[in-house]
Structure 1
Amino acid sequence: MDRHGSPGLGPRNDAGSRVQKPESASDKAAKLAALKARVSAAIGTTKAKGGLNVGLHPALEDIGQWKPGNNKSNDTRAGSSSRPRNDGGRPPPKQKTLDLSGPSLDEIKSNPYYDANLGAPSVKPRQTRQLVFNQKGKYIQQANALRRQAALEALKKKIAAGTRKVGIDEDKDVEKSFLIDAPPEIEWWDEGLINGKNYDDIDDPMAIKIDTEDTIITRYIQHPVPIEPPQDKNVPAPKPMYLTPAEQAKLRRQRRMGDLKEEQAKIRLGLIPAPPPKVKKGNLMRVLGEEAVKDPTAVEARVNREIAERHAKHVETNEERKLTKEQKHEKLAANQEKDAAKGLHMLVFKINSLANGQHRYKININADQQALTGIVIMHPKQNLIIAEGGERSIMQYKKLLENRINWTENLASREKDAQNDGLKQWLKAETENGDLKDLAENQCKLIFEGEIKSRAFRKWGSKVCETDSEAREVLSKSKMENFWNLAKSTR
């Protein structure tokens, strides 16, 4: 029995498959046409390719097409059926296919809403991307490279931190601090006398403005206001002539004789009462006379009482002339202020070690007593002392640091310093094992001494700096960082 359409898609009309009511030929043709239309719509124009750019199976390539050669095979398979065809030998009806193509170009241009300026988007064919497999161990090598880079960066940071702590990188800039700037092309006092910005045309008479109309040199003389030389206020007062002991005694006698004659004149005029006789044990008999003969015991007691009164009055007068503690401080501060008004001086000392606590105490307490301003920089390798004040105060402080303090002596730390956990190990008198440090090579050197115009510090203080950069930063606030470089270069 014959089957309509392509093999395998239409229903079979044999006795074994006929379970329901048999369909008509027109219904079968309509169902077959609908099925082919669905297949053609799914396949589209890509008959040679399927999904994911993979070629179609050979058995599916001719779906949706009618081929005349297939009737023979259909008849052969249908002839094996027990029921003959009842189509009268007519060819199968022509099937209608679904037109899925878009509108033509003429139809698009005839559309009243068509805009020729808007071109149709070009559809680029999808390029096949080849599969690229990564080599074995590629990402492991990248991870190892990242680990090595991270380890290298950590090592660089560690070396940089150690370098800053030791101060190696700070020593590189020491020589730059001693560089002298190049001289200018022309000095400021010659700018008004030469045409130009340098001395190239100094030999040209036309370039020199001396006899010209715009010259700054005139026939008028300027008399500046005289200013007292600053060194005159530092000149010490003239000392009196030195006298021998005999000459000093002669002057004393003359002065006392003049005072006595003045007092006698006042007594004659009645301005002051006559003083009582000054009775002593040596002139007792001569002054008192008969009274001493009549009652020598009473006279002697009277003389002793007068002597005691005169001594008590002398002691009382001396006590009244003495200054109180507050007056002494005021007088000392006034003298120090007068000393500083005459001129300020500066001292800069370099000390190898300040591990001995008594040395630090003497440095600070004497600076406070002498009304000095400055700073003490404590560093593991070197210590710097900058002191400024009057001439006398500076002289006393210089004697303290150079003569009075024994820098090679080391004593055990006080209980207060021993219990201070914040005190650095290099500032303690003992080592980590508890032994006293050896200060035999410790010394104090004067690296600068001179006069200054004004004070750079407002008070006296101290600062602990573990690196050179910290020390320079502290001194840079007072523009004294050059002394740190000078101390490092001093051996």
Structure 2
Amino acid sequence: MTGRKHGLNEGDDKTVKRAKTDSESIEAKRASINARIANLKAKQAAKETGKKDTTDKKDPKSSVADRLARIKERTAELQRKKLEKEKEKEKEKSKEHEKKLPDRQAKKPYVAPVIGLDQEVHPLLLQIKEEQELKKINPYLDTSAVSAKTDEFFDPQVDLPRARRPRALQFNAPGKFIAQAEELRYEAKMEAMRQQMEAEAEAKRAKREIGISVDERKYKVQAPPEVEWWDMPYVQTDEGFQGELKTDAELEQLVTCYIQHPVMIKAPWEAHLPQGPLPLHLTKREQKRIRKQARAEKHKDQQDRIRLGLDPAPPPKVKLTNLISVLSSDSIKDPTSVEMRVRREVEARRLQHEQDNQERKLSREERAQKIADKAERDKQTKGVFTAVFRVESLADDQHRYKVNVNARQLHLTGITLLNPDFNLVVVEGAPKDVLRYKKLMMRRIQWTEAAPIREQDEGVKELPDLSRNKCTLVWEGQLLEQHFKKWTTENTEDQVSAVDLLKRNKVENYWIAAKGVDK
């Protein structure tokens, strides 16, 4: 059949024939290659099955890897057979369709491809493209040909790839995250309460053991050592003390004719003593005589300067008592005016005197700084002194106010430690300031008397029971160094926390001494 019957030229007919012959040759080559590949795979499969049979005889339980390999081979073979069947079906359909047509001219005229745009592609080329696309499909991932019910090599333990389904939108119910947050807060609150209860139980347990841990262990006498430190060089101690001295040769090297004189260590109070000879103290009579001689000498120098003309002569100091003797003629002529003038001069001198005193007077800040400097100077020259007081109760606000304010006014450092068992007051400072504070604590404050309740506090506060309240001096003396840098007030719940707080300043022995004082 030529292409003229279809409305084609001779050149187009030749191209169609050439395309058909090329496609037939390509199809034949492809079929031969597939046949060779199938034969090679069949041989290899036969070899592997033979090997597997031998191994299966030895071991009836095959491994999972072998079973997976057999499944893959089976799927590839089924896929190949499926493609061959589809090709045969398509050929049969095309033949049947050609037989049904009564006349070749009734067919739709075919337009051969011409080089250029807007032209259709030849159906043989389309068929080749479809076959290439089918080959791109991975037979190992395509499970359409594998049936879990009919395949004898199917392993239910192996997960086959499933088709991905689109997930629908899932909206959170209102209040979901708020409920979760509330639940987390509740769990955190319960955990904090549990930890607090455990801490309280631990504190109570430690409080029960405080009598042993604070009092008895501190005063426990340590056993004497087997060898004193000054005898260690002369005793054999390589393998422990055995009561034997070293050899004579070793002792001769240690014992010499020289005598060691240790350096004398000064006592704490000697560091503040004045260096050199002691100052000479004068009596009251001697001090008065020296002041009188100094004033006379100063007046004599002033008179000499006036005589030489270096200083102007001061005006006469007229008073009502010497009015007649100084202004005799004027007082007789006009006594009223002279008296008024004298009174004005006296008042001017008094005002000038008060003004000079006011100028020399220190301000409030300067006076406070002067007192603080004097306290620091006393600490440097006379040393740091301390006093420790035990107060049974500080429930009264007025008592606490006096204890804290007077300590700050006297430039003292220390602590007021409030505790349910008893209260401890520790002060450090110059000797005079500590003595004044001691008089305040032991004499001036009436510990058994509570301050009256104010009108605005009526019905809110009650007077505490201070019938058994008192203040006891635990210890006083001089210190090598100052333990506290400022004055503070701390509140503790038990003895353990009080001792831990005092340990920070290395004065935990104050609590032990205060606890040993009889009530």
Normalising by structure 2, what TM-score?
Answer: 0.54
Gaps of 5+ in 1: 1-110, 117-153, 421-429
Inter-CA distance 384–253: structure 2 relative to 1 (3 Å threshold): closer
Question: For the Cα contact (< 8 Å) 2:384–2:429, is it kept in 1?
Answer: yes
Deviations 1:132-152 (CA, angstroms, capped at 9, x unpaired): xxxxxxxxxxxxxxxxxxxxx
The match for 1:480 is 507
What does 1:397-416 align with in structure 2 at a 5 Å threshold?
Answer: 397-412=437-452
Tell me which residue corresponds to 1:346. 386
Q: Is contact 1:344-1:453 (8 Å) kept?
A: yes
Partner in structure 1 of residue 216 of structure 2: 175
TM-score normalised by length of structure 1: 0.57
Q: Distance between the aligned counterparts of 2:203 and 2:293, measured in 1?
A: 79
Q: 1:415 to 1:314 in 2, by over 3 A?
A: same
SS for the counterpart of 1:178 is coil
Does the 8 Å CA contact 1:351/1:382 hold for their aligned counterparts? yes
SS state of the match for residue 177, structure 1?
Answer: coil
Contact 1:375 1:460 in 2 (8 A): yes
2:248 matches 1:206:
yes
Q: Is 1:442 matched up with 2:469?
A: yes
Query: After superposition, where does 1:5-404 map in structure 2 within 5 Å?
Result: 161=201, 164=204, 167-173=207-213, 174-192=215-233, 196=237, 200-201=243-244, 206=248, 209=251, 212-215=252-255, 219=258, 230-232=268-270, 234-235=272-273, 238=279, 240-244=281-285, 250-342=289-381, 343-404=383-444
Query: Do the aligned residues in 2 keep the contact of 1:166 with 1:467 (CA within 8 Å)?
Result: no
- The separation in 1 between residues aligned to 2:343 and 2:484, in whole angstroms, is 62
How many residues are aligned here?
A: 324
Q: CA offset at residue 349 of structure 1?
A: 0.9
Amino acid in the other structure paired with 1:183: P
Name the CA shift for 1:114/1:165 in 2 (closer, same or farther; >3 Å): closer
Paired-residue identity, % = 36
Change (3 A) 1:166 1:283: same
After TM superposition, give the deviation of residue 183 of structure 1 in Å.
3.4
- Tell me how far apart the structure 1 counterparts of residues 294 and 282 of structure 2 sit (CA, whole Å): 18
Letter in 2 for 1:179: K
Pair 1:221–1:470, CA change in 2 (3 A): closer
Quick one: structure 1 residues 167 and 115, their matched pair in 2 at CA, closer, same or farther if it must change by over 3 Å? same
The runs of 5 or more residues in structure 2 that have no matched partner are 1-53, 60-193
Match of 1:467 in 2: 494
Partner Cα distance (1:365, 1:168) in 2: 35
Distance 2:483 2:241 in 1: 37
From the superposition, tell whether residues 380 and 180 of structure 1 become closer, same or farther in structure 2 (CA, over 3 Å): same
Encode CA deviations 1:147-201: one digit per residue, 9 max, x unaligned: xxxxxxx9xx99x839818943322322112113333344444444555476945
Q: Identify if the C-alpha distance between structure 1 residues 199 and 449 changes in structure 2 by more than 3 Å, giving closer, same or farther.
A: farther
Q: Distance in 2 between matches of 1:330 and 1:311?
A: 30
Cα pair 1:201 1:207 within 8 Å, conserved: no
C-alpha contact (below 8 Å) 2:272/2:380 kept by paired residues: no
More helix by share: 2
SS at match of 2:474: strand
Corresponding residue of 2:46: none
**Cα distance per residue 1:211-265 (max 9 Å; x no partner):** x2355x56498896x9876534544885733335xx6665554333222222111
Residue 452 (str. 1) matches residue 479 (str. 2): yes
Q: Hey, what's the Cα distance between the residues in 2 that align with 1:359 and 1:166?
A: 31
Q: Distance in 2 between matches of 1:371 and 1:484?
A: 23
Cα distance in 1 between the residues matched to 2:456 and 2:231: 65
**1:21-68: CA deviation from partner (whole Å, max 9, x where unpaired):** xxxxxxxxxxxxxxxxxxxxxxxxxxxxxxxxxxxxxxxxxxxxxxxx
CA RMSD of aligned residues (A): 3.8
Structure 2 distance, partners of 1:207, 1:396, is 65
